[in-house]
Amino acid sequence: MTGPGDTVVVVEDELPMRRFLRSALMAHGFRVVEAGTIAEAERAAVDTRPDAIVLDLGLPDGDGLELLKRLREWSTAPVIVLSARDRENDKVIALDAGADDYLTKPFGTSELLARIRVALRHARAQPATEDPTIIVGPISIDRARHQVQLAGAAIHLTPIEFRLLLLLARHAGKVLTHRQLLHDVWGPRSAQQTHYLRVHMAALRKKLEVDPARPRWLTTEPGVGYRLRDE
């Protein structure tokens, strides 16, 4: 799926960080194009038509968010943003503005590669030919029949829970923000009612997790949203 030939544009102003990203990605067969400023990044994106973009939100010559918005006007290449732990709001804004995932500094090579792989996989999936059954770990979802099984046993979900699970499963491995989940499950007017979402997520965990307080699949991304892990 991914590997030699896939081009990743790395937008990072700190040279040591860029060096680390380059060596980690190149060691796994990616072609890496580096950009230290917004202007360089835009040029690189136009010239190389990358398969994915890694973007540090704390760029000095302008807002990384601005670049993301401009990029989204013409490109669908997955964007993974890098940000510090207590900048949750930046991450949420970036994700809502079209970023595909995020990494909190510090992170290791394996997390970086896992995010890029998931993003590339989703970017290449054809929605029209989506499988009628989605399987994530022990969870299997029959889209047509509204049926969910956990390790082969039928699980009853309410319609809301089903929609929530389906949405997370269709983006398995990828983070979805509170806003995205609320918007898609409850409609555009509910985007602020996060407690709604939290109550239903808790119910879903109760039904699908062995220990809901230590979720294996339905993980919380604090301050950002939720993720259905697929590995």
Partner 1 sequence: MIIPSDTTVRAWLAAGASAVTPVACATLLGVIAGARLSLPDDAMLFLFAIMIAAFGGRRAGLLAASLSVAAYDFFFVPPRFTFAVADLGYVMTFAVMFTVGAGMGTLVARLRHAEAASRQRERRTAALLAFTADSARAVDVAEVASAVAAHAEDVLAAPVVVLVPGGDGALAAAAGLAPLAAQELAVVRAAHEQRRPAGRGTQLVPSARLLALPLLAGGDSAGVVAVHLDRARRRIDREARELLEAIARQAGLAIARLRLTAEARDAELRVQAEELRSALLSTVSHDLRTPLAVITGTATALREISSALTPDQLAAIDTIVEEATWLGRILTNLLAITRVEHGGEIHSEWVPVEEIVGSALARAEAVLAGRDVALDLAPDIGVRVNPILIEQLLLNLLENAAKHTPPATPIEIAAALAGDGVAIEVADRGPGVPPGAEHQVFQKLYRGPNARGAGAGLGLAVCRGIATAHGGTIEAAQRSGGGATFRIWLPGGAPPPPPIDDRAIDDHAIDDHAIDDRAVDDRAVDDRAVDDRAVDDRAVDDRAIDDRAVDDRAIEPAPTGPGVSPAAGAAP
- SS3 of 11, please? strand
Minimum distance of partner 1 from residue 161's CB (angstroms): 8
The yes or no reply on residue 72 touching partner 1 (CB under 8 A) is no
Q: Which of residues 19-58 bind partner 1 (CB under 8 A)?
A: 19-21, 23-24, 27, 58
**Distance between CA atoms of 163 and 61, rounded to whole angstroms?**
41
Please pick, from the candidates 7, 14, 42, 48, the single residue that binds partner 1 as defined by CB under 8 A.
14
- Residue 132 binding partner 1, by CB under 8 A: no
Structure-token match 């993003």, residue found:
119
Of 47 and 107, which has the nearer Cβ to partner 1?
A: 107
- Choice between 30 and 217, CB closer to partner 1: 217
Binding status of residue 96 toward partner 1 by CB under 8 A: no
Amino acid in the structure at residue 230: D
What is the side-by-side order of every strand in the sheet holding 7-11? 31-35, 7-11, 52-56, 79-83, 101-104
For residues 171 and 183, is the Cβ–Cβ distance under 8 A? no
Q: How do 147-150 and 153-155 pair as beta strands?
A: antiparallel
Specify the residue, 76 or 89, whose C-beta has the smaller distance to partner 1: 89
Taking the complex as a whole, how short is the minimal distance between the CB of residue 151 and partner 1, in angstroms? Answer: 4
Instruction: Pick the binder of partner 1 from 40, 42, 88, 96 (CB under 8 A).
Output: 88
Q: Are 197 and 178 in contact (CB under 8 A)?
A: yes
| Type of residue at 202 | A
Which CB atom, from 67 or from 185, has the smaller least distance to partner 1? 185
- Using CB under 8 A as the binding rule, whether residue 115 contacts partner 1 is answered as no
Angle between helices 15-26 and 109-124 (to 10 degrees): 70
Neighbours of 156 (CB within 10 A): 9
Neighbours of 222 (CB within 10 A): 8
Strand 133-136, strand 139-142: pairing: antiparallel
The count of residues interacting with partner 1 (CB under 8 A) is 70
Pick the binder of partner 1 from 175, 215, 227, 230 (CB under 8 A): 215
Of residues 1, 5, 110, 132, which one binds partner 1 by CB under 8 A?
Answer: 110
Binding site for partner 1 (CB under 8 A): 14, 16-17, 19-21, 23-24, 27, 58, 84-88, 105-110, 112, 137-138, 144-146, 150-156, 158-161, 163, 185-187, 189-190, 193-196, 198-203, 205-210, 212-217, 219-220, 222-223
